[in-house]
Structure 1
Amino acid sequence: MKTSDLLVKALENEGVRYIYGIPGEENLDLLESLRTSSIELILTRHEQAAGFMAATYGRLTGEPGVCLSTLGPGATNLVTAAAYAQLGGMPMIMIGGQKPIRTSKQGRFQIVDVVNLMKPVTKYSRQVVDGYHMPSMIREAFRVSMDERPGAAYIELPEDIAEEESSATVFDVVGHRRPDASEQSIDLAVEMIRKAQAPLVLIGAGANRKRTAESLRALMDCTGLYFFDTQMGKGVVDERHPQYIGTAALSDNDYLHSAIERADLIINVGHDDIEKPPFYMHKGGRQVIHINFDAANIDEVYFPQLNVVGDISNSVNRLADKLGRLPQEFDFFARVRDEVDSHLTRYFNDTRFPILPQALVSLLRDHLDAEDIVTLDNGIYKIWFARNYECHAPNTLLLDNALATMGAGLASAMTAKQLNPDRKVVSVNGDGGFLMNCQELETAVRMGLDLVVIILTDKAYGMIKWKQEGIGFENFGLDFNNPDFVQFANSFGATGHRAESHADFVDILEAALAGKGVHVIDLPVDYSMNHAILNKLLKESAAID
């Protein structure tokens, strides 16, 4: 069969259901092979969005999402999405086209060395030079992409290789069990936890990837340990748990940092050093147990005293079995939890308009079920969602605290809805980030998705403006104008709405969540209280004793 047919057979063999992307003339043989396959091609309007969609597929399923581009500018448009998947620990396969490599028809026209370009932002980047190698390359790309730590892989298929005949056959998909931690490391961890006066659990992004919710919940219930999470670790354990303290959305000076400062031992489960560190280590200070699939990377702020290396869920289960109910008193952590609960709800019922981000968080939480999904683009509102939005299940608040790119919020929501048609999905975007990939509204409408898209409008790059103001610089270079988002949405076949008051937004939100199709809501937002809230937070959190 043709190498392009062989590629499709290999993808089917890996269980691929969708390919997101934009084909070019260099992909035409592959496109023809896909036409008669079981794989559905989701045609997007920009390669970057295709990459974001594929990465989100990997994030939600644990299996690589697949995206497609042509050569040159199509492939370079995937670079940001590759970094998004690579830093975020999301398995993803990118397939790119290329001019013929045996004979040149057009000199260097459109030719970029994409294979080497992709190497710094992928785990695997190869060009197919002979159809015979295609099956092994696909199997290896999938294996590498899924292996801890997950990430992106790139395969380039030149035009002439795609059309040549090959007698190769696909490889069997062979999984493997991750090794368990040694008994000695488990016993050392038990000893350290028992000796600590104030041990505290941190749940990171790595724990969210491997669905360790049941094991971690059992650990908290069995031992009485209190816990907090990182932004990408949110929801691994239901945040309604009585021992949950909060999310490390700020680098310091938050209520939960009072608990971190009091802790003499951090049990760090699923640490991912791509995320901003929620605490810094100092020599002679608190001790850290690192529980993960791999040993910790050592740097100036993170150098654990113990590595428990192996399958996370297995390690946590064994710790719970050996520890039992701990004798330590956790009264201080309980007080911090109560202060956090009191603070987070302070602006939930505020009805001023433009809306406060905290009030938006409250409204969405009240209108969504435990398994419904909110996806975020990147902006200042992400801090308030990370701090204030109570996650009841894993991967129900999809935010990016790794690459932290703008433009991914809508695309990630589209995949989330595609994979979870029975759940409500809401995409929250700033007006800056939304306009970076707004053309995908057409894709969402064409896919027949029932989706709610909220655009928080302040006509500025609000996060940078907030930082600029905090430093004391003059307002400069960050303001812009917007199109009429209602007409814009309607022109794509979506339904546009503009909220004129807090009560008006509530009515629109309820109707949009209950309705069919894509609903786009223009919602003015008020960020003017950010500094006041955070300054007050600094004083109040420092006073906890």
Structure 2
Amino acid sequence: MKASDLFVKALENEGVEYIFGIPGEENLDFLNSLEHSKIKLVLTRHEQGAGFMAATYGRLTGKPGVCLSTLGPGATNLITPAAYAQLGGMPMLMITGQKPIKKSKQGRFQIVDVVDMMRPITKYTKQIVNGNNIPSVVREAFRLAMEERPGAVHIELPEDIAAEEAEDKVFEVVGSRRPDADQGVIDQAAKMIEAAKRPLLLIGAGANRKRTSEALKELVDKTGIYFFNTQMGKGVIDERHPKYLGTAALSANDFLHCAIREADLIINVGHDVIEKPPFFMEEGKTKVIHVNFFPAEVDEVYFPQLNVVGDIAASVKQLASKITNTSNWETTYFEEIKKDVEAHLSKYFEDQRFPTLPQRLVSILRNTLEDDSIVTLDNGVYKIWFARNYKAYQPNTLLLDNALATMGAGLPSAMLAKLIHPDKKVVAVCGDGGFMMNSQELETAVRLSLNLVVIILNDSAYGMIKWKQEGMGFDNFGLDYHNPNFVQYAESYGAIGHRPSNDEELREILNKALNTEGVHLIDLPVDYSLNHPILNVLLEKETGKL
């Protein structure tokens, strides 16, 4: 069979449902093979949009999302999504085309070494040089993309290899089971936890797996231990739980960090050094038990006293069964901190000023959306407010990026979430800067007939950097711009544009948009005036730095 047909057959063998991307002439054999496949091609308006959709597919399903580009500029446009998936622990496969490698008459036109370019930001990158190698390369790419820690992989399919004949054969998809932690280490961890006076449980990005979520809830319910999470660990346990303290969204001086400083032991489950550190260790103070698939990477702020290495879910279940005596624990302080956190975070939930406070938007969305509704965030200062104030009731219902923290991913991520969860309500919250970086994907969303709500927080500036610029005592310079008329902009793509003029209109428009078909864009003026008096005072006072 033709090698491109074999490639598509190998992808079907892996259970691929969608391929997102923009083909070029080097992909035409592959495109022809895809035409006769059950795999759906989702044509996007930029390779970044395709890559972000593929990465989000991996994040939500645990299976690699697949994206496609041509050579040269198409492939270089996948660099940011590759880093997004790699740092965020999202399984993703990128397929790029290339000029013929056996014989070429075009010199170096459009040619860059894509395989080497991808090497530092992927787990695996390979050029196909023989059609018969396709099945093994595809199987290995998928295996590595899903293996802990998940990430990005890349395969380059040259034009002449795609057109050659190859043997009709694919490899069986074989799963693997991760080993359990050493029983002696589990016993040691259980003794440390029982002996602690103020233990805390931290849930990180690596714990955001279905089995681990169930095991952690069992541990919390059985022992009554208080817990907090990182930004990418939100929703692993329902944040309405009475033992939930909050999300580590800032580095110091927040109410939550008062609790962290008073803990004498932190059980850190699924810690990922890619995330901003949720706490800083100090010699001779709080002890840390590191529970993960891998041993801890030690640095000056993280040096755990014990590594529990193995399948996380199994480790947590074993700990839950071993911890029987919690009489030594003192929880009164954490109970008081929880009350303070709740009071502090809810302070502006009912503030109806207009332009809208981000805290108020958090409140409106949380009160409007269902438990399983999905909110995707782009990157901006509002991400801190959502991380701290928005309670996630289920895993992967607040999709934010605390790894690469790139702009431009909010809209494509929401599109993917709605594509694979058509029955759930999905809202993208984007700053005006991040939205405009991939705003052309509105056309893709309309073409796919997605029922989607996009909220643009409009302050006509790169607000996150402006906040930091002011907080560090610099002049206001170089961060303001002019936006288009977003209502007319949405309508030009066939979407439905809205611009509320007060709080009541915002709530009415949101309800209508969530319950009416089509892509709805809400241009919402935002008031960031409380960023400085609230957030800055919570940051490191000693250094005066953000």
TM-score (normalizing by structure 1): 0.98
Q: Which residue of 2 aligns with 1:88?
A: 88
Provide Cα deviations, 1:376-431, integer angstroms capped at 9, x if missing partner: 00000000000000010000000000000000000000000111111100000000
Distance 2:431 2:535 in 1: 20
What is residue 494 of structure 1 aligned with on the other side? 495
Aligned to 1:344: 345
Q: Residues of 2 paired with 1:303 and 1:11: CA distance?
A: 42
Q: Distance in 1 between matches of 2:241 and 2:203?
A: 14
Which sits farther off after the overlay, 294-303 or 67-76? 294-303
Aligned to 2:364: 363
Alignment check: 8 A CA contact 2:56 2:65 kept = yes
The alignment partner of 1:299 has SS state of coil
C-alpha distance in 2, partners of 1:538/1:476? 23
DSSP 3-state at the match of 2:55: helix
Aligned partner letter, 1:191: K
Q: 2:379 — aligned with what?
A: 378
Counterpart for residue 543 of structure 1: none
Q: Distance in 1 between matches of 2:365 and 2:511?
A: 10
Match of 2:391?
390
Q: Which amino acid aligns with 1:518?
A: V
Could you say which residue in structure 1 is the equivalent of 2:234? 234
Q: Hey, what's the Cα distance between the residues in 2 that align with 1:303 and 1:63? A: 32
The answer to whether 1:200 aligns with 2:200 is: yes
* SS of match in other structure, 2:437: coil
Checking the alignment, whether the CA contact within 8 Å between 1:127 and 1:155 is kept in structure 2 is: yes
Structure-to-structure mapping, 1:25-44, within 5 angstroms: 25-44=25-44
Q: Match for 1:34: what amino acid?
A: L
- d(CA) in 1 for partners of 2:365, 2:211: 24
Alpha carbons 1:59, 1:209 under 8 Å: kept:
no
Deviation at 1:194, TM superposition (A): 1.2
Distance 1:535 1:98 in 2: 49
Residues of 2 paired with 1:55 and 1:39: CA distance? 17
Structure 1 residue 279: deviation in Å? 0.7
Q: Hey, what does 1:170 align to over in structure 2?
A: 170
**In structure 1, C-alpha distance between the alignment counterparts of 2:387 and 2:535, rounded to whole Å:** 14
For 2:23 and 2:537, the matched residues in 1 are separated by 53
Name the counterpart of 1:335.
336
Deviation at 1:324, TM superposition (A): 3.0
> 1:507 — aligned with what?
508
User: Do 1:222 and 1:324's aligned partners in 2 also have CA atoms closer than 8 Å?
Assistant: no
1:279 aligns to 2:279 (yes or no): yes
What residue identity is the alignment partner of 2:198? Answer: A
**Matching residue of 2:544:** none
8 Å Cα contact 1:211/1:236 also seen in 2: no
How far off its partner does 1:310 sit? 0.8
Aligned partner of residue 523 in structure 1, secondary structure: strand
Partners of 1:536 and 1:52 in 2: CA distance: 34
Alignment partners' CA distance in 1, 2:139 and 2:299: 34
- Asked if the contact 1:234/1:397 (under 8 Å) is kept, the reply is yes
Aligned AA (1:193): I
Aligned partners of 2:252 and 2:540 also within 8 Å: no
Q: What is the match of residue 432 of structure 1?
A: 433
Query: 2: distance between equivalents of 1:297 and 1:335?
Result: 33
CA deviation vs aligned residue, 1:471-494 (integer Å, no higher than 9, x gap): 011100000000000000001010
Match in the other structure for 2:142: 142
Deviation per CA, 1:450-503: give whole Å up to 9, x if none: 000000000000000000000011100000000000000001010000111111
Give 1:13's aligned residue: 13
Cα separation, partners in 2 of 1:129 and 1:538, compared to 1, 3 Å: closer
Between 85-94 and 164-173, report the one with greater CA deviation.
Answer: 164-173
Distance 1:525 1:325 in 2: 50
Per-residue deviation, 1:329:
2.0
Q: Deviations over 1:218-262 (max 9, x none)?
A: 101101100000000000000000010000011111101011000
Letter in 1 for 2:385: W
The one-letter amino acid paired with 2:409 is: A
Query: In the TM superposition, what is the alpha-carbon distance from 1:211 to its structure 2 partner?
Result: 4.4
The 3-state SS of whatever aligns with 1:348 is coil
In the alignment, the residues of structure 1 paired with residue 305 and residue 384 of structure 2 have an alpha-carbon distance, to the nearest angstrom, of 31
The CA deviation at 1:535 is 5.0
Following superposition of structure 1 onto structure 2, how do residues 83-482 of structure 1 map, counting pairs within 5 Å? 83-324=83-324, 326-327=326-327, 328-482=329-483
CA contact under 8 A between 1:224 and 1:325: conserved in structure 2?
A: no
The alpha carbon displacement at 1:275 in A equals 0.1
Amino acid at match of 1:355: T
Structure 1 residue 167: deviation in Å?
1.1
Q: 1:209 deviation in Å?
A: 3.6
d(CA) in 1 for partners of 2:101 and 2:332?
A: 68
1:169-199 CA distance string (max 9 Å, x none): 1100000111111101100100111111111
Measure the CA separation in 1 of the matches of 2:324 and 2:507. 46
Task: State, as a whole percentage, how many aligned pairs show the same letter.
Answer: 69
SS at match of 1:289: strand
Letter of the 1:357 partner, please give it: P
Q: CA deviation at 1:442?
A: 0.3
Q: Relative to structure 2, which stretch is displaced further, 531-540 or 168-177?
A: 531-540
What residue identity is the alignment partner of 1:478? L
- 2:51 is aligned with 1:46: no
Q: Give the Cα separation in 2 of the matches to 1:256 and 1:427.
A: 27
Q: Distance in 2 between matches of 1:538 and 1:454?
A: 28
Instruction: Compute the displacement of 1:539 (Å).
Output: 11
Distance in 2 (alpha carbons) for counterparts of 1:72 and 1:400: 27
Q: Pick which of 307-316 and 452-461 moved more.
A: 307-316
C-alpha separation in 1, matches of 2:257 and 2:239: 17
Tell me the distance in 2 between the aligned counterparts of 1:539 and 1:148. Answer: 34
Q: Say which SS state the counterpart of residue 104 (structure 2) adopts.
A: coil
Letter in structure 1 aligned against 2:44: T
Distance 1:294 1:536, change over 3 A: closer
Aligned residue type for 1:236: V
Output the CA distance in 2 between the equivalents of 1:338 and 1:105. 71
Change (3 A) 1:211 1:512: farther
Alignment length, in residue pairs? 540
Output the CA distance in 1 between the equivalents of 2:209 and 2:237: 13
SS at match of 1:200: strand
Residues 518-533 of structure 1: matches in 2 within 5 Å?
Answer: 518-533=519-534
Gaps of 5+ in 2: 542-546
| Equivalent-residue separation in structure 2 for 1:536 and 1:301 (angstroms) | 22
**Equivalent pair of 1:135/1:168 in contact (CA under 8 Å):** no
For structure 1, the residue ranges without an aligned partner over 5 or more in a row are 541-545
CA distance in 1, matches of 2:462, 2:192: 46
1:514 partner amino acid: N
Q: Which letter does structure 1 place at the counterpart of 2:43?
A: L
Given that 1:67 and 1:93 are in contact with CA atoms closer than 8 Å, whether structure 2 keeps it comes out as yes
- The alpha-carbon distance between structure 1 residues 72 and 206, as it changes in their structure 2 partners (threshold 3 A), is same
Q: 1:492 to 1:250 in 2, by over 3 A?
A: same
Structure 1 segments, 4+ long, off by >3 Å, are 535-540
Counterpart-to-counterpart distance in 1, 2:424 and 2:236: 18
Q: 1:346 to 1:29 in 2, by over 3 A?
A: same
Moved more, 402-411 or 178-187: 178-187
Query: Aligned partners of 1:135 and 1:29: how far apart in 2?
Result: 17
